[in-house]
């Protein structure tokens, strides 16, 4: 509470500067009770100040409503609230959208089939996409941040006033789910919503699952804070200590967080997205920069931080990825409005190894006509021949005998090129015998 009073006092002192503050209001909070409580607790203002971002304002007075659903927010009257806020604060470039949980909890129960759950999820996604499209179509510079939920706690909150009035009836309506059952469907829903961000570079998603388990732990069970890494233990709820208190602590909420918990949520938003967004600075990571020639164009792997930003890559100044062996300067640049970022690295495509297949007959008579030599390299490059020793020579790929007996050693080689290393030479030998002896051998064989 001291933190809230401090934030309110600060806002009061800054009231004469309201017009100036409006010019830097860049984040609009839209959505249900999780959005409303973050706004009313002053979580963004407080955590922004802790991170040196207090020059950037936040608004959510008319655009957050406890109990609201995606179905509500797709309606014209609700969309008009978003429109009015964007008109009032023209510098807003990020809309934090927290909605969809009530749509699911109002309908889902443990007896639903997978098909029924899929139908419910698709209906929520349909409504969410309408809301997102409306916001994005409002201004090409606006981006949407999907900020959803952490695990609820319907296990430790069923007793007391809160459990009797709210948690117990809701838990019964849902078919008395275990934490694993409830958390599993919650994660599935949120992952489906997160796919909206995957499909649109102006939509972003930050995952909060397991943050409360990480922040509070279970000290009484020997699990201190910070020891459980997100996304945490899906078989467990968020800790009891994270849940919101009502009626001066006489009722504990089963779904909503205390102000400290929402501070953790906002800090996660800052760490994963909002700090970079407020400064307009993105990072790019390049990978898969070492290759061996295989004839195919090489496209390196690239990701942006925050994820999903529109960016371009050039290779020695060309947009088409190279296929030939060589060393290329790679430049990746953010191309999305409101963001900056660039990285330079080196792509190396090494020449490939090649091998030769080559065979000779074991014996030939000394009067044998020129023999066409046959060999192949797996590179497809032409094989070259030479006589290492013996009574013969090479003429245009033909082995020409000198008419004398002896052992001929022929070497097949391929010197390589830009894309292929020189092949290991292959030597084969054959015996050259006198024509008379050769005929005698055939007669003896008969």
Residue spans per domain, the chain: 2-279, 283-350, 356-445
Structure tokens at 345: 């690295």
Tell me if 283-350 shares its fold with 356-445.
yes
3-state SS assignment for residue 301: strand
CATH code matching the domain that covers 356-445, chosen among 2.60.40, 3.40.50, 1.10.3470, 2.60.120 = 2.60.40
For 29-66, the pLDDT digits (tens) are: 999 999 999 999 999 999 999 999 999 999 999 999 99
For 412-437, the pLDDT digits (tens) are: 999 999 999 999 999 999 999 987 75
pLDDT of 18: 39
Helix (H) and strand (E) counts in the chain: 15, 22
For 239-275, the pLDDT digits (tens) are: 999 999 887 667 789 999 999 999 999 999 999 999 9
Which residues of the chain fall below pLDDT 50? 1-2, 4-23, 442-443
Contacts of 357 (CB under 8 A, 6+ apart): 375, 376, 377, 378, 426
Which residue in 238, 211, 244, 240 sits closest to 226, CA to CA?
Answer: 211
Which residue in 146, 150, 135, 144 sits closest to 194, CA to CA?
Answer: 146
Partners of 349 in beta bridges: 291, 326
Q: What is the dihedral of CA 121, 258, 51, 11, to 10 degrees?
A: 110
What dotted CATH number matches 283-350?
2.60.40
Are the CB atoms for 381 and 348 separated by under 8 Å?
no
Separation of alpha carbons 234 and 183, rounded Å: 6
Separation of alpha carbons 358 and 412, rounded Å: 7
Which residue in 63, 11, 55, 20 sits closest to 38, CA to CA?
Answer: 63
Q: What is the pTM of this model?
A: 0.83
**Residue whose entry in the numeric block shows the structure tokens 């990701």:** 303
CATH class of the domain whose range is 2-279: alpha beta
The secondary structure element, H or E, covering residue 89 is none
């Amino acid at each position: 509470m001291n933190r809230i009073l401090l934030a309110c006092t600060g806002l009061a002192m800054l009231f004469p500067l309201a017009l100036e503050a409006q010019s830097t209001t860049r984040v609009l909070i839209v959505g249900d009770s999780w959005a409303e409580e973050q706004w009313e607790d002053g979580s963004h203002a407080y955590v922004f100040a802790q991170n040196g971002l207090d020059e950037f304002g936040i608004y959510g007075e008319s655009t957050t409503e406890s109990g609201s659903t995606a179905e509500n927010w797709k309606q014209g009257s609700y969309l008009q609230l978003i429109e009015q806020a964007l008109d009032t604060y023209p510098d807003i470039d990020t809309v934090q959208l927290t909605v969809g949980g009530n749509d699911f909890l109002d309908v889902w129960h443990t007896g639903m089939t997978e098909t029924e759950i899929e139908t419910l999820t698709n209906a929520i996604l349909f409504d969410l996409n309408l809301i997102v499209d409306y916001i994005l179509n409002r201004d090409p510079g606006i981006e949407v941040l999907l900020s959803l939920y952490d695990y609820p706690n319907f296990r430790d909150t069923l007793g007391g006033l809160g459990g009797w009035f709210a948690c117990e009836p809701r838990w019964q309506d849902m078919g008395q789910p275990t934490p694993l059952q409830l958390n599993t469907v919650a994660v599935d829903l949120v992952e489906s919503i997160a796919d909206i961000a995957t499909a649109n570079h102006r939509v972003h998603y930050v995952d909060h699952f397991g943050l409360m388990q990480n922040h509070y732990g279970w000290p009484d069970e020997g699990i201190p804070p910070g020891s459980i890494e997100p996304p945490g233990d899906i078989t467990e709820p968020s800790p009891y200590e994270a849940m919101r208190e009502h009626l001066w602590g006489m009722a504990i909420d089963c779904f909503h967080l205390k102000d400290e918990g929402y501070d953790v949520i906002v800090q996660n938003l800052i760490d994963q997205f909002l700090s970079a967004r407020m400064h307009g600075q993105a990072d790019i990571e390049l990978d898969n920069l070492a290759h061996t020639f295989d004839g195919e164009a090489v496209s390196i792997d690239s990701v942006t931080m925050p994820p999903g930003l529109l960016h371009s890559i050039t290779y020695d100044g060309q947009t088409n990825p190279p296929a030939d062996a060589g060393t290329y300067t790679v430049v990746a640049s953010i191309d999305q409005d409101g963001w900056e970022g660039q990285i330079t690295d080196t792509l190396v495509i090494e020449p490939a190894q090649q091998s030769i297949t080559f065979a000779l007959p074991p014996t030939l008579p000394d009067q044998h006509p020129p023999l066409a030599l046959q060999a192949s390299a797996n590179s497809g490059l032409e094989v070259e021949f030479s006589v290492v020793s013996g009574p013969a020579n090479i003429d245009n790929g033909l082995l020409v005998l000198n008419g004398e007996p002896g052992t001929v050693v022929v070497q097949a080689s391929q010197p390589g090129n830009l894309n292929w290393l020189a092949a290991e030479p292959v030597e084969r030998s054959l015996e050259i015998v006198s024509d008379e002896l050769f005929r005698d051998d055939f007669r003896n064989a008969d």
